[in-house]
């Protein structure tokens, strides 16, 4: 029998893969059970409801996404390069073979109207991303409103890349960011 943490990790890995690739509403707990190899009884001990599993999937994805972004961006040598690196990182993410857009936008679209907690988790993720952009803008000595503009560029690129199945919107958004950064 798997220890609690191993079972929890397997369930979350299976849920993330299934929810992201197929959609939350299309995936039942039995599919998560089957993909994880964890018994249904154990699954419900770990996550008493599907909504609890969805929320933990989103929290985990948020942590991983934010860490991956910051790890890439913060390695750049100058504040201006860090801002532009956001869009370079997005291009890399969009180029992944299983890219299906933003899990938070997707979950909000599926469940935001019926689950206050899912909607709130999506809002938190987007606010954290915006706050990160704002910190980059501040560090570069740029006007605060640039963060709002960059967030819109990034969010538009995320959605457009998913819809058209190409990473190129990240390059177009980077070009627009560069123009905004050099506009007096």
pLDDT of residue 183: 85
Helix (H) or strand (E) holding 68: helix 50-73
Region 65-74 average pLDDT:
98
Is 1 among the domain residues? yes
pLDDT at 2 over 90: no
pLDDT of residue 115: 97
Region 152-168 average pLDDT:
98
Region 119-139 average pLDDT:
98
How far apart (Å, rounded) are the C-alpha atoms in residues 70 and 133?
10
Q: How far is CA 159 from CA 64, 123, 154, in A?
A: 19, 16, 9
What percentage of the chain carries pLDDT values higher than 70? 100
Domain span including residue 12: 1-48
Is 53 among the domain residues? no
pLDDT at 91 over 80: yes
Q: 118 with 168, same domain?
A: yes
Domain end point (choices 12, 28, 48): 48
State how many domains the chain has. Answer: 2
Q: 44 with 69, same domain?
A: no
For residues 138 and 144, the answer to whether their CB atoms sit within 8 Å is yes
Question: Which CATH number do you get for residue 24?
Answer: 1.10.10.60
Confidence category of residue 1, pLDDT binned at 50, 70, 90: confident
Confidence category of residue 48, pLDDT binned at 50, 70, 90: very high
The model carries a pTM of 0.94
Q: 1 with 78, same domain?
A: no
How far apart (Å, rounded) are the C-alpha atoms in residues 80 and 140?
6
Q: 41 with 68, same domain?
A: no
């Amino acid at each position: 029998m798997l220890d609690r943490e191993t079972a929890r990790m397997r369930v979350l890995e299976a849920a993330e893969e299934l929810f992201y690739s197929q959609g939350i509403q299309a995936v039942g707990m039995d599919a998560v059970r089957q993909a994880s190899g964890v018994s249904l009884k154990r699954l419900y001990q770990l996550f008493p409801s599907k909504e609890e599993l969805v929320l933990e999937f989103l929290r985990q994805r948020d942590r991983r996404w934010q860490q991956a972004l910051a790890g890439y961006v913060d390695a750049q040598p100058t504040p201006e390069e860090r801002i532009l690196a956001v869009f370079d990182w997005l291009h890399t993410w969009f180029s992944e073979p299983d890219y299906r857009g933003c899990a938070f936008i997707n979950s909000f679209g599926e469940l935001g109207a019926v689950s206050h907690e899912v909607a709130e988790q999506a809002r938190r993720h987007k606010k954290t991303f915006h706050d990160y952009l704002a910190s980059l803008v501040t560090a570069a000595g740029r006007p605060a409103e640039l963060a709002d503009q960059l967030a819109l560029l990034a969010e538009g690129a995320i959605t457009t890349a998913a819809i058209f199945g190409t990473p190129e919107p990240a390059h177009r958004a980077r070009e627009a960011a560069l123009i905004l950064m050099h506009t007096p």
